[in-house]
Amino acid sequence: MKPKAYVSEQKKEEVKQIKNLIKRYPCFGIIDLTSLPSSTLQQIRHKIKKHDVIIFTTKKSLISIAINDFKDEIKNISELLPVLENSMPALIFTSMNPFKLALMINKSKTSAFAKPGQIAPHDIIIPAGPTKFTPGPVIGELGAVGIKTIIQEGKITIKDDINFVKQGEVIDKKKSEILTKLGIEPMEVEMNLISLYEKGKVYGHDILGISEDAYFNRLKEAHQNSFNLAVFINYTSKDTMETLIKKAYMQGKALASKANIEFSEEIITQINESQESSGEKKHSNQLHEKKDTSAVGYTEEAVEKASEILKQLQDQKIKENRT
């Protein structure tokens, strides 16, 4: 019989702590500490502490045990387990909305020196100008990697700007050492938030990693698409009314012109008068002007009146006056 593995009291206590935190906080998840310097982790901890955010570092196996203990009690919590595999995980707990937490974490980037083997995130430029070094072996080291120097006022001075490492290029050991000596920190280091759990839902990095600008652009796109659809199907609301009236007017006018029918402007005059009486007439008095308006602040009375007029326009039998 295989002997039962011994679990120390310390490990049992850590599992108990994790489970208590899971019970206490409505939102919790996994962060990946791979390549994150301990100094950066401490900086981030200090920044987020005031927001009632706890980062709990422990062994991967203990996180797995705690999550498995809750798999029959907390809905979908086991969906967090796969992200533990290829990471150096730690737990994060908060009372914040998961997306507010993600936004805060995504803004907590710090610069860092490059390590050998890392990929340049952008072109790394070494600017021309004096360095802190006096003439010595450093001149040879800089020359060996293609950096031209001169001596000015007793200091080694770089003659010209140089694109030292191109974007996407692997940073080798020599270039890493030169960048460190020159005090250039080209890398951006951030805490990798890979998964968050809240109320039975697990949000992955693909959702949590969306930038604020991208999120607002998606909202704008969704608003524009819904507005276009509403106009296309002739859905009447205070937001679409003006555009629908313009659309009906232009289509009616085009049809009358094609059928060689006299088109009356009387209905348009009534609409303008309705806008004036509501006190919210726009800068343009002519509805046939090609102005793209997506939001109109009409009162309910104005909307009702406009709806009636639109119905009249749609149902009106235009008298033919063929010549």
| CATH number, position 77 | 3.30.70.1730
Inside any domain, residue 289 = yes
- Give the closest residue to 81 by CA, choosing from 199, 4, 194, 5: 194
- Give the closest residue to 128 by CA, choosing from 161, 165, 162: 161
Inside any domain, residue 3 = no
Is pLDDT of 300 > 70?
Answer: no
- Same-domain check for residues 222 and 179: no
pLDDT band at residue 8, thresholds of 50, 70 and 90? confident
**Lowest-pLDDT range, 8-17, 79-88, 95-104, 257-266?**
257-266
The whole-number pLDDT of residue 312 equals 56
Is pLDDT of 201 > 50?
Answer: yes
The whole-number pLDDT of residue 236 equals 85
Is pLDDT of 271 > 80?
Answer: no
pLDDT band at residue 263, thresholds of 50, 70 and 90? low
The whole-number pLDDT of residue 246 equals 85
Domain count along the chain: 3
Residue 84 neighbours by CB distance under 10 Å? 18
Residues in the chain: 323
The whole-number pLDDT of residue 298 equals 44
The whole-number pLDDT of residue 21 equals 95
**Lowest-pLDDT range, 145-154, 209-218, 231-240?**
209-218
Structure tokens at 257: 């012109």
Residue 154, domain CATH: 3.90.105.20
The whole-number pLDDT of residue 294 equals 36
The whole-number pLDDT of residue 218 equals 81
The whole-number pLDDT of residue 182 equals 93
The whole-number pLDDT of residue 149 equals 93
Range of the domain at 184: 124-188
Average pLDDT over the chain, rounded to an integer? 80
Is pLDDT of 295 > 60?
Answer: no
- Same-domain check for residues 162 and 300: no
- Same-domain check for residues 241 and 301: yes
- Same-domain check for residues 203 and 100: yes
The whole-number pLDDT of residue 19 equals 94
**Lowest-pLDDT range, 73-82, 192-201, 206-215, 255-264?**
255-264
| Tens-place pLDDT, residues 63-99 | 999 999 999 999 999 999 998 988 899 999 999 989 8
Is pLDDT of 221 > 60?
Answer: yes
Inside any domain, residue 119 = no
Inside any domain, residue 4 = no
pLDDT band at residue 323, thresholds of 50, 70 and 90? very low
- Same-domain check for residues 239 and 97: no
Inside any domain, residue 322 = no
- The residue behind tokens 């995130």 is 121
The whole-number pLDDT of residue 238 equals 86
Of the residues 179, 210, 241, which one is the last residue of a structural domain?
Answer: 210
Inside any domain, residue 151 = yes
pLDDT band at residue 42, thresholds of 50, 70 and 90? confident
The whole-number pLDDT of residue 291 equals 40
Average pLDDT over residues 212-224: 81
- Close Cβ partners of 17 (under 8 Å, ≥ 6 residues apart): 56
- Same-domain check for residues 202 and 272: no
Inside any domain, residue 71 = yes
- Same-domain check for residues 203 and 83: yes
- Same-domain check for residues 307 and 268: yes
